[in-house]
Structure 1
Amino acid sequence: MSNSRAAAILTTADLAEAMRAVRTLLDIADLEGAVVDFEATIRSPDVADRIRQLLPDLSWWAQAGKEHGSSECGDDPAACVPITVHDWDHSLASAEPLIAALGPDSAAVRWDLNGWPEVPTAGLGLITRKYAYLTLSVNSRDLYQDEPSPDHTVHVHVRGDQDTARVEWLAAQVGSRFSGRVEIAPL
């Protein structure tokens, strides 16, 4: 197993601003074969119902433990909140409806990209699929919803410390700058 480094490049209370940044970064990325992964901590029955309407085969379990409810047992997630959701390999078009359905609950929506482009003028080579990810932490400042907050953070994933120039370049593309916050993200 390898890890990427998820660098926070924008934190804002304005979800629309965060989504504009995500769309800009998606326009830069190579999206061939890209998919969306979804991890969330859902605390509201209404949110659980909305997410389940979008993802009928949602993979989830009760935070109190699977014996208190899970998708494996065919339980109703709305009756088991709070729940943890880990659902993978969805179409790119699924991301925005999922984000809109979250309300105040926190999630990490990750776009698994085919690559970040070569930028010769900035001295940046091509980065391929293994380290090309983009994550929007909704109602949280971190990838794992350990820091719930009223704002949202855009993270770009790269190989390691040697890719600071790429992080700074990507941040500049959305009118922001690298915050210095980095998390290790198991892939």
Structure 2
Amino acid sequence: MSNSYAQPVLRTADLSKGLRIVERLLAIADTSELEVDFEALVYSAAYLPTLVDVLPDAEWWAEGDGGAWGLVNNPSAHSVARLRSWANPPGLVQRFLKAVGDSPAIVRWDFTGWPEAPAVGLGESGTRGAYVTLCAYARDLELEEPAADHSVFVHFKEIDAERGPWLAYQIGLRVLGDPVMAPY
């Protein structure tokens, strides 16, 4: 698996607006194969039972001695736990966002590809780099920058850097910064 590059196209205090922008971006994409990945930093054990109910097969990670993250069996024994779950059905998004509460979280939609963008000289993208990410209560793709608002990122291959601004333009927005390498 290779990393994608990503650019934010929206920052909003309204989570439902962020989800509507994601829907508009997915309407442009080839979603014949669509799955969703989840990640969250959970600071409150109160969220754990509902998250385990929504994503029973999720991996839980916690920071150990020396600052390294490792898999754990009992996330409630740690002050901060990181949940990761891949290849989920899109129908879990609302349940996940409700269960995670105000914890910093990521929802990443993986799909078949972006369409051709002849105006910027790009063909269809294929699956590598074809993602949309909603960062809830976080400004970045690694959940290192907590925020009171939410960000939507479009992803693309490094050689397709013009795709970010093109995608934003297709839905009446503009990119909000330079491309950054996504962590996965």
With the shorter chain as reference, the TM-score category is 0.7 to 0.9
- How far the C-alpha of 1:163 sits from its partner, in A, is 2.9
Could you list the runs of 5+ residues in structure 2 that have no partner in the other structure?
A: none
Q: 3-state DSSP class of the match of 2:9?
A: strand
2:71, 2:4 → 1: CA distance? 32
2:7 alignment counterpart: 7
Per-residue CA shift, 1:93-124, capped at 9, x if unaligned? 11222122221100111111110111345543
Q: Spell out the pairing of 1:8-157 with structure 2 (5 A cutoff).
A: 8-64=8-64, 70-71=72-73, 75=74, 77-120=75-118, 123-157=121-155
Output the amino acid matched with 2:134: L
Tell me the number of residue pairs that the alignment of Structure 1 and Structure 2 aligns.
182
Equivalents in 2 of 1:151, 1:181: separation in Å? Answer: 19
Residue identity (%): 40
CA distance in 2, matches of 1:140, 1:5: 18
Give the corresponding residue for 1:175: 172
Distance of aligned partners of 1:166 and 1:53 in 2 relative to their CA distance in 1, 3 Å threshold: same
Q: Which shows bigger deviation, 52-61 or 78-87?
A: 78-87
Alpha-carbon deviation of 1:175? 2.8
Q: CA RMSD in A?
A: 2.3
Q: Is the 8 A contact 2:38 2:85 kept in 1?
A: yes
- Alpha carbons 2:141, 2:183 under 8 Å: kept: no
Amino acid paired to 1:110: R
- 1:67 is displaced (CA, Å) by 10
Give the CA deviation at 1:18: 0.5
Return closer, same or farther for 1:177/1:62 CA change in 2, 3 Å cut-off.
Answer: same
**Equivalent-residue separation in structure 2 for 1:186 and 1:90 (angstroms):** 19
Unaligned runs of 5+ in 1: none
Contact preservation (8 Å) 1:61, 1:69: yes
| TM-score between the two structures when normalised by the length of structure 1 | 0.87
CA offsets per residue over residues 139-182 of structure 1, 9 Å max, x none?
A: 0000011100001110111112x534321121123332101243
**1:24 touches 1:173 (CA, 8 Å); kept in 2?**
no
Q: Report the counterpart of residue 184 of structure 1 in structure 2.
A: 181
